[in-house]
Amino acid sequence: MTRDIALASALVIGCSNTAPVEPVAVVASPPLRAAAPRASALPSTPTLPLATEGIDAHFAYLEKMCSPLSRFTAASGERFAACDCCPNYGESCKPQPPGAEIADTVTPMLIVDQMFRGSFRRAGADEMLMITSGCASAAENNGGVWIGDVEGGSLGKLAYESGDHPEACKKLPREEGIDRLLCTFTHGRAATSTHVLVNDYTRPDAGISARELVEVVSELSHVCSRGAGPITDNRVVSTRFADRDGDGRVDVEVSVSLRSGTVTVAALRKCKDGVFEGDPSSLLAAPKEGVLRFVGKPGRTFEPDAETKKLLARL
């Protein structure tokens, strides 16, 4: 018994003298790396320029909807982007092929007058609005307005508003997510009427009376056809906009020149073949300057202030 205990003790002592086990270093595996993406074989489509002024920008947009493109130079020397096709007539006006030559022309079918980019038909949209001359069935061939969605390097959902052809427009500050244009539009035969309009393209069917702030009439160029009697020469001098009352809505001001006078029987003797010989403005009093103020209201509408209402009554 004593011998067995001694043997067991010897075994325990022998085990305690065993050499220690070498520690094993644990090294973390490197993270798996994602495979590098393969280069696309398809060329990227260039986006249309944000700036919409100048002939180069006009060509960049026009080539997406019309061909062959051409370059028209007015008598003033100003150059315009043009096209020898009318998309609104249902013609097959395909986009201009890349690298195609742009030739000079004296008889364009369509001319780009002005262009804007913004949200015109719905809030949050990225749209192009192009005012064009030509390609209109009316006798004066005044043109219209094209609006389309900007989709990277192309245009989609193109729509045409025939007869909506203002001479000069400015984009108003955005309200309720919508961009509008403050424009002037002049026409007339028996008299010359200049309309100041706010074009809101969320209402494409709104007539000119719904968009009009004021109509100013000049009869001066029609002296010989009107006969003896009173005559006016009222003109729009300029338009401008600002938030005058600090309510967060844009207000519009229209500067006008107002003149009136009388055409006498003696003055009519200066008319030869329907044309007044001399300066017809000599029949008028000195011009008076006036400012018409239209205050912005909810719903993107305008209302003339008290002084403007009085002046409009005289117009």
Least confident range from 80-84, 173-177, 187-191, 284-288: namely 187-191
Cα 5 to Cα 15: distance, rounded to the nearest angstrom: 16
Work out how many domains the chain is built from and give that number.
2
Both 77 and 107 in one domain: the answer is yes
- Report yes or no on whether pTM surpasses 0.75: yes
Which residues form the domain of 201?
Answer: 170-315
Q: Is the pLDDT of residue 232 over 90?
A: yes
Q: Does residue 307 share a domain with residue 174?
A: yes
CA dihedral sign, ordered 110, 116, 118, 119: negative
Q: Which helix (H) or strand (E) holds 156?
A: strand 154-162
Domain identity same for 175 and 287: yes
- Asked if 140 and 197 sit in the same domain, the reply is no
pLDDT value at position 260? 94
pLDDT at 138: 64
Residues 211 and 252 placed together within one structural domain of the fold: yes
pLDDT in tens, 144-167: 899 999 998 899 999 998 877 888
pLDDT higher than 60, residue 119: yes
| Average confidence (pLDDT) over 63-70 | 94
Q: What is the average per-residue pLDDT within 97-121?
A: 94
Q: Is the pLDDT of residue 35 over 60?
A: no
**pLDDT class for 231, splitting at 50, 70, 90?**
very high
Q: Which of 130, 165, 200 is the last residue of a domain?
A: 165
Are 107 and 85 in a shared domain?
yes
Q: Among the three residues 120, 139, 165, which one is the final residue of a domain in this structure? A: 165
pLDDT for residue 1 is more than 70: no
Domain shared by 194 and 314, yes or no: yes
- Position of tokens 């061909």? 67
Tell me 259's DSSP state.
Answer: -
More confident residue, 125 or 38: 125
Identify the pLDDT of residue 139. 57
In this structure, the answer to whether residues 135 and 177 fall within a common structural domain is no
pLDDT at 88: 85
Does 41 fall in a domain? no
Per the prediction, the chain carries an average pLDDT of 84
Same domain (yes/no): 287, 249: yes
Residue 175 CB: number of other CB atoms within 10 A? Answer: 16
Residue 3 has pLDDT above 70, yes or no: no
Is position 85 within any domain? yes
Flag the least confident range among 46-50, 130-134, 226-230.
46-50
Q: What percent of the chain has pLDDT over 70?
A: 83
Range with lowest mean pLDDT among 81-85, 140-144, 171-175, 244-248: 140-144
Residues in the chain: 315
pLDDT tier for residue 44 given thresholds of 50, 70 and 90: very low
Q: Of 58-62, 139-143, 228-232, where does mean pLDDT reach its minimum?
A: 139-143
Domain check: are 187 and 213 in the same one?
Answer: yes
Residues 119 and 227 in one domain: no
For 210-267, strand residue ranges (E) read 212-218, 229-232, 235-242, 251-258, 260-263
Domain boundary residue, one of 124, 147, 165: 165
The number of beta carbons lying within 10 Å of the beta carbon of residue 156 is 11
Residue 86 has pLDDT above 70, yes or no: yes
* Residue 76 is assigned to a structural domain of this protein: yes
How sure is the predictor about 37, in pLDDT bands with cuts at 50, 70 and 90?
Answer: very low
Q: Residues 92, 68: contact at Cβ < 8 Å?
A: no
Within a domain: 35: no
| pLDDT tens per residue, range 260-282 | 999 999 999 999 998 999 999 99
Together in a domain, 157 and 184? no
pLDDT bin (cut points 50, 70, 90) of residue 255 is very high
The predicted model gives 174-197 an average pLDDT of 91
Does residue 134 lie in a domain region? yes
> How confident is the model at residue 142, as a pLDDT?
78
